[in-house]
Amino acid sequence: MRVLITRPASDAPVWVAALQQAGYDAQAMALIDIAPAPEVEPIERAWSRWGQWQAVMFVSAPAVRCFFARQPQSHAWRDDHTRCWATGPGTHKALLKAGVPPRLIDSPNEQGGQFDSEALWQEVHPQVASGQPVLIVRGRDVGPQNLNPDADATGFGRDWLAQQLQSVQVPVHFVVAYQRQAPVWSQAQRSQAALAATDGSVWCLSSSQAVANLQRCLPAQDWSSSRCIVTHARIGQAAQALGFGQVLVARPVLADVLASLESLA
C-alpha cells in the first residue's frame, strides 16, 4: 500500500521512515511549503520580553523551529518561569529539541485522544493568571489569494484559544514566525498525485490548509475513489468537502496512524 505523507518537507522524513520500517511504501508529497517569516524584528522583540509572558503558545513544530532560530545566545533556562504550550506531540518534541526544559512544557496528554486548542485549554486553564500576557506564535499564509493586511500582520489561524484567554482577562499578543504557501508542483508531480487519487494510495492529511492546497494543485481531480487519514475531525470535514470517498480520523501518533492503515488494508 502506498502512503503519501503530505506534511511540510521538514516534518515528513520522520513519518516516511517510520512507515517504511512498518512495511508500507511511504513517500513524501508536501502540500505545504514552509519558510521563516522575513520580518525578524517582531520575533526579536518577543524574545526581549520573554520574562513578561506567563506562557508562549506554539501552534506547530515549524512555529517552534522558526521562533527559536532567533533565540538570543544569552537566554538561560535555569531560572525561567515562562510556560511553553503545545497542542500536540510533534510540537512538544520540537520544544524539547529546541532546549526547553520538560518542566516548562504543557500539552495535552498523549493518551487523551485529542490534540488541539480545546484539549490544551483543558490542560492549562487552571494555572492561567489574569492580567499577565500570553504570546501566541503562529504562521501566515502567503500567495495571491491571501491579501488581508490584518492576517498578514498577526498571522492566520483559529483564534479560539485567544478568545478563552481574553474571557479571563488575559492579554493576548501574536507574532508570526513562519509563512505557509502552496507547493509548486512539476508536471511529473501532478501526474503522480493524480494517479494516487485513483490507485488505492492513502493520503495522510495533517491540516485543512493541505486539503485546500491539494484542490489548488489538482482543481479538476475527482476524489470519489480516494482514501485518506486525517489527524483531526475538522481536517476530515475539509477532505469530505473536497470529495474524498473514504476518510478516517487518527491521532497524529504513529500507533494510531498504523492502526488506521491496517483497517484499510
User: Top-level CATH class of 2-32+184-264?
Assistant: alpha beta
Euclidean distance between CA atoms 218 and 214, whole angstroms: 6
For the domain bounded by 35-181, which CATH number is listed? 3.40.50.10090
Return residue ranges of the chain for CATH 3.40.50.10090: 2-32+184-264, 35-181
pLDDT, one tens digit per residue, over 58-96 is 999 999 999 999 999 988 888 899 999 999 888 999 999
Asked if 30 and 209 count as a contact pair (C-beta separation under 8 A), the reply is no
For residue 154, the model assigns a pLDDT of 52
Residue 155 has pLDDT above 80, yes or no: no
pTM: 0.80
For residue 151, the model assigns a pLDDT of 47
For residue 141, the model assigns a pLDDT of 86
**Average pLDDT for 212-235:** 95
Indicate the burial class of 27 (C-beta count within 10 angstroms; 0-12, 13-18, 19 or more).
Answer: middle
Q: 219: closest CA among 157, 141, 139, 145? A: 145
pLDDT, one tens digit per residue, over 246-261 is 999 998 888 999 999 9
Q: How many residues does the chain have?
A: 265
Alpha-carbon distances, residue 20 vs 5, 28, 250, 257 (angstroms): 11, 11, 18, 13
**Average pLDDT for 175-193:** 93
pLDDT, one tens digit per residue, over 140-152 is 988 655 444 444 5
Residue 100 has pLDDT above 80, yes or no: yes
